[in-house]
Structure 1
Amino acid sequence: MKICPKCGKENSDQALFCENCGYEFAKTESLKRNQGSNLQEMGQAPAAKRSNGSKWFIIGGVALLAVIVGVGFAVANRSTNEAAPTTTVSSSSVDTSKYDDIIAEAKELTINGEYKKSNLKLSRISASDLGKNEFSAIADEVDELTEKNEEGLKQADDKEAAQKAQETERPDVTTSGSSSAFSGDYAKWANTYYFYYSQTSQRQSALTIGANGSVTQKNVNGTQYFGKATITSASGDVLSYETNEQYPSDMPDTKLINPNVQITVAWDGGGTQIYYGYLSYSSRLALTDGVSKNDGVNEVWIS
């Protein structure tokens, strides 16, 4: 049965128009179809929207994940890039000037011929530091100074060996019971002496005896003689001057003295000479050769 939507009259299912008011049922069916279509579309719309929403949610999630991953890589790269400067800063912060004073002091010692002290000074530099690239300049200076020190020490050893060989060849210098070292009771005789009274043809001016026995005689004309001295005790009487005056203008009186020591000088140019040492009345050290000359004494020296 069809019920007319306009008047409510019942009609047969096959009726195209209402028997009461003439309402056309085709409009009602068309409206129902349209409403059904609309309802169907309305029912599908949320699904489409939900589908589109899910799609954008997924896209947004992927994009967010990509952003997070990108930030992670950026932070990691930044950390890696920042690590390298840290190493550079650490390397550049090494104080390579901390050994400057030691190098300067060692150089001065080497120049002054104190080679052993220079090597001891250089030994204060850390060997581990010298193996580092930052200290390559310091290592070069240490090597150069060490080489100079070793050469200087070798030359000193060679010189000492030559001196010992020369002394061995001079039996007059190493007389039995003598000592070449002016030490102990003999130390005061290592001194500088001046010629006491000059006679005709006398040319000596000063005589210096070192603690190691070295002898240097300076002459009036500027020349010098060199030799090596040994010292022993002495006894007996020898000829000398009265040495009470400082600088006598006239020949002083001669006298016999009892010497304390005998000093024997072997001259480098050949020959030997003996001096007898005693303490004068004026408390000065005096040397005499005891040889008479022109009513006086050949050589007398006063400290």
Structure 2
Amino acid sequence: MKYCPTCGAENNEQSRFCEQCGYAFETVENTPKRNQGTNLQKNPEPSNQTPNPKGGFPKWLMVLGGVVILAVVVGVGLALAGSSNDEATTPSSTAATLNSTSSSNKIDTSKYDKLIAEAKELTINGEYKKSNLKLSQISASDLGRSEFAEIADEVDELQEKNDDGLKQEDQTTDSSQKAKDSAKSSSGSAFSGDYAKWANTYYFYYSQSSQKQGSLTIGANGSVTQKNVNGTQYFGQATITSASGDVLSYETNDQYPSDMPDTKMINPNVRITVTWDAGSTQTYYGYVSYSSRLALTDGVTKNDGVNEVWIS
């Protein structure tokens, strides 16, 4: 196929003349190219019109596309330039914004300092259960966070000390209970039979300024409770056996003597040994007074009198 140089019409390759405008193809092939010609004057269309082969894009459309692409490129360039200028001219404001965000997200790890200090003091004072209760007020979810790693270590250390302390307390209680059970099961420990009457309540017979004892109660199972005038109490476990010999005591004729009674030697019927919970032991000798009251004496001399004498 070939195209007419004058009108741009499509013609057969073998055509000698343009089927549209009659242009002579041989004239173009055999005659040198000229700027002007009669054939051009006869052409009603402008001589500078660009041939438009069938199926091609019009020139105006290509120009328009180029303009659009240029506008897009220029717009993107201006936007990037503006962004660069903003970043270059406001670094301090950007840093301030980041610092502000970082400060607002900062976690306060000092909120448990008071609880930790109180728990430590309780542990030092041997109040292990109370210390654990304090520690239980700390959020478990916080302890699992990396920011609270140091606090978590302190909590673990305190809880370990508290657990050890509680175990020691349990062991001490078990040992004390075993000692009581052993005392109950030993020979002569039961306050029964001939010894049953000695399971009784006794009152301190002659109080001196340095003595604060109030009453002494011995149970049938050998339990002992001493109540003092200041409201405190002592607890222990007693065993009882027969006794002989002479022991120091008071005359017990008066009910509540205001002056120190006369001392005398008595022959005891029983020997009662008390093991106090604090670990100390004390021995009393029991006898029946002339007034038919049960009496206990420790037989120890004190201030020209007797250290302890008890009357039922």
Into which bin does the TM-score normalised by the smaller protein fall?
A: 0.3 to 0.5
Q: TM-score, normalised by structure 1?
A: 0.46
Q: TM-score, normalised by structure 2?
A: 0.44
